Amino acid sequence: MAYNLLKGKRGIITGALNENSIAWKVAEKAHEEGAAFVLTNAPVAMRMGEMNALAEKTNSQIIPADATSVEDLTDLFTKSQEVLGGKIDFVLHSIGMSVNMRKTIPYAESNYEYFLKGVDISALSFHKMLSVAKKLDAISEWGSVVALTYMAAQRTYPFYTDMADIKAMLESIARSFGYHYGIEKKVRINTVSQSPTKTTAGTGIKGFSDFFDYADAMSPLGNADAESCADYCITLFSDLTRMVTMQNLFHDGGYSSTGVSTEIMHKFGLK
Ligand code: NAI
């Protein structure tokens, strides 16, 4: 059911790789809610071609941009304003990649070249995006920027390797930039800390499937899926949350506030 929450708003949505991507669901919902937006992804992801179907379905243009390149990001924000006919009202940062994790390198033995690449793609890209937008004055007053994160930024999950530190940095950038952009232009910046979700990035994590079941059993409402994450992002892009900024918001069915659930206790022999 749509509520026209984003009627007349212009956006940029990163990271829709395929129909499992969280960003894909955000794009579908944003379209339903009346927004016009540009889709973007790394040129290499574009070659897979799946995004074209989403662009067609949501009536949107695709502008390729490597999120680590200030030049590409400048081009993205400049062209997006031309295509959409004005300043940008919302941005979704839905970008994550760790080479250390992909190569199943244990945390304590992290390769630093890979580590830096992970930082650049998954955290610094957020700073670059915001910095470019601010320099171009491309985001409208009361505009809303959301990045997706995971709770390993606060608590240790051994399998999350260097992405834990990278997500901590991402969340910190949301706070720091949220202050500066808020003071100057009333732009809001938040992170949404999402449940484990069956996407390309998610299932690339070692032991993901077992952990997914564990988190599901730990959460009073069960794991939040990509679609409900998209719903939450839409509320954050809307004017209904205009005083929310610099927050890390858990979207996890109650997982982050649960010490242990009875279901898990039963698995350990509780009668
Ligand atoms: P996904 O694999 O569908 O999306 C990741 C996206 O990052 C892809 O579209 C990929 O092409 C893009 N990307 C990688 N390098 C890039 C670059 N240099 N420039 C531009 N784009 C680049 O997976 P998912 O799960 O939808 O990931 C989206 C976000 O959600 C990520 O930040 C991830 O860490 C976060 N997240 C995912 C969870 C999960 O369990 N799937 C849980 C919590 C957060």
Domains in the chain, please, with CATH? Answer: 10-267 (3.40.50.720)
Contact of 92 with 15, CB cutoff 8 Å: yes
Residue 205 has pLDDT above 90, yes or no: no
Best residue among 68, 73, 77, 199 to mutate for probing ligand 1, ranked by most atoms within 8 Å of CB: 199
The answer to the question of whether 69 is labelled as a binding residue is no
Mean pLDDT over 94-115 rounds to 97
Please confirm, yes or no, whether 150 is among the known catalytic residues: yes
| pLDDT, tens only, 54-75 | 999 999 999 999 999 999 999 9
Quick check: CB of 248 below 6 Å from ligand 1? no
Residue 3 is among the residues annotated as catalytic for this protein:
no
* ipTM over 0.85 threshold: yes
Q: Residues 128-171: pLDDT tens digits?
A: 999 999 999 999 999 999 999 999 999 999 999 999 999 999 99
Out of 160, 181, 232, 255, pick the active-site residue. 160
Using left for φ > 0, alpha for ψ between -120 and 50, and beta otherwise, residue 224 falls in: beta
Mean pLDDT of 17-37: 97
Pocket mutation for ligand 1, best pick of 12, 14, 21, 193 (most atoms within 8 Å of C-beta): 21
Q: Which of 107, 114, 150, 255 is catalytic?
A: 150
The separation between the first and the last C-alpha atoms of the chain, rounded to the nearest angstrom, is 42
Host H or E run for residue 209: helix 208-218
3-state secondary structure string across 44-102? HHHCCCCHHHHHHHHCCEECCCCCCCHHHHHHHHHHHHHHHCCCEEEEEECCCCCHHHH
> What is the pLDDT averaged over residues 25-49?
94
Phi, psi of 143 (to 5 degrees): -60, 160
Per-residue burial over 123-148, b if 16 or more Cβ lie within 10 Å, else e, is: bbbbbbbbbbbbeeebbbeebbbbbb
